Amino acid sequence: MPLFKAADRLVYYAHVPKCGGSAIAYYLIDRFGPLGFYDSFYHDRPDETPWTRTSPQHVDVRALETLLPARFFDAMFAVVRHPVPRTVSTYHFQREVEKRIPDETSFSEWLKGLEDKGTPRFEYDNHVLPMDQLVPEGATIFHLEHGLDGLVHWCDLLTGRKDGPRAVTPENARGMLVDVKSEKAIPTEEDIARIGRIYDADFERFGYTLDRRDPSTPPPELTEAFLAERDRALDTMQRPVFRLKRWIRRRLQRV
């Protein structure tokens, strides 16, 4: 349930796991300051009874509506992703980073077990929960397949200013957190059909189909001037000095 103040507006970021969340969180912090209801150390804390069943950033809609009244926020947004690559990413993260899936468990075996028991709330810190249950109605939707430039532009419009970073940089891609030695899982036709059944509500609501990765929703329209600013920012971000400064800043922020 990440919250932040953008100018004089209270904004809710409906964080869907495995949809660029770390990159987005870092961008928001760089632009607007520390986030509220965001605990990057949730799983590192001493073994004690937590006050939430999941990390606060992975709150589902049911819990959100219990805690906060309707229209509490001035704006809401979420970034979603095609359910097939999102599910593959979840499998690798839980197997390689969180170590909650045994090494000997294949993607197909894990996925079959997921369908057999359903996608219960709080399982894997809500990483397997359908996006439909994480994104409130009325939130502005961005599709990861379109990139994150649209989010930068949306923040510009929200605040009426362009004083923030001009691009969102990738964070925590596979292999960045741990040394990956296994090959990436490639879903079989049976796996893909199973994902379609498990996440049918996500396919319907967010404009995805099983036979193509791009959503039916067109990408946001961005001006040539905006894209030129983005390209200059990306060039700057590749410079060694900038990358070193960013690495130090990230270690201090520890999102």
pLDDT at 157 over 90: yes
Average pLDDT, the chain: 89
How far apart are alpha carbons 111 and 105 in whole angstroms? 10
Q: Cα 62–67–69 angle (5° rounding)?
A: 95
In our burial notation (b when 16+ CB lie closer than 10 A, e otherwise), range 115-151 reads: eeeebeeebbbbbbbbbbebbbeebebbbbbbbbbbb
Rg (CA), the chain: 18
Confidence tier at 247 by pLDDT (50, 70, 90): confident
pLDDT at 242: 76
Cβ-based burial of 88 (10 A; exposed 0-12, middle 13-18, buried ≥19): buried
Q: Which tens digits make up the pLDDT trace of 84-125? A: 999 999 999 999 988 899 999 999 999 999 999 888 888 888
What pLDDT is recorded for position 145? 98
* ∠ CA 129-132-135, rounded to 5°: 100
pLDDT classification of 159: cutoffs 50, 70, 90: very high
User: What pLDDT does residue 246 have?
Assistant: 73
Do the beta carbons of residue 80 and residue 16 sit within 8 Å?
yes
Q: Could you tell me which residue, 160 or 98, shows the higher pLDDT?
A: 160
Question: 168 and 148 in contact (C-beta within 8 Å)?
Answer: yes
Total tally of structural domains belonging to the chain = 1
Residue 220 · residue 146 · CB < 8 Å: yes
Between helix 224-237 and helix 240-253 the angle, nearest 10°, is 80
Q: Are 112 and 48 in contact (CB under 8 A)?
A: no
Contact 127, 143 (CB under 8 A): no
Amino acid (one-letter) located at 152: V
Output the pLDDT for position 196. 98
Report how far Cα 37 is from the mean position of its chain's Cα atoms.
15
Strands 9-14 and 75-80, how do they pair?
A: parallel
Structure tokens at 202: 């996500």
Over residues 7-34, mean pLDDT: 93
Q: What distance in Å separates the CA atoms of residue 31 and residue 240, rounded to the nearest whole number?
A: 22
Q: Is the pTM of this model over 0.85?
A: yes
pLDDT above 70 covers a percentage of the chain that reads: 89
Q: Tell me, what CATH number does 91's domain have?
A: 3.40.50
Question: For residue 55, what are the contacts with CB-CB under 8 A and spacing of at least 6?
Answer: 39, 42, 43, 125
DSSP, collapsed to helix, strand or coil, labels residue 212 as strand
Query: What residue numbers bound the domain in which 47 lies?
Result: 3-253
Please report which confidence band the pLDDT of residue 55 belongs to, taking 50, 70 and 90 as the band edges: confident
pLDDT (tens digit per residue) in 182-214? 789 999 999 999 999 999 999 999 999 999 999
Give me the numbers of helices (H) and strands (E) for the chain, helices first please: 9, 4
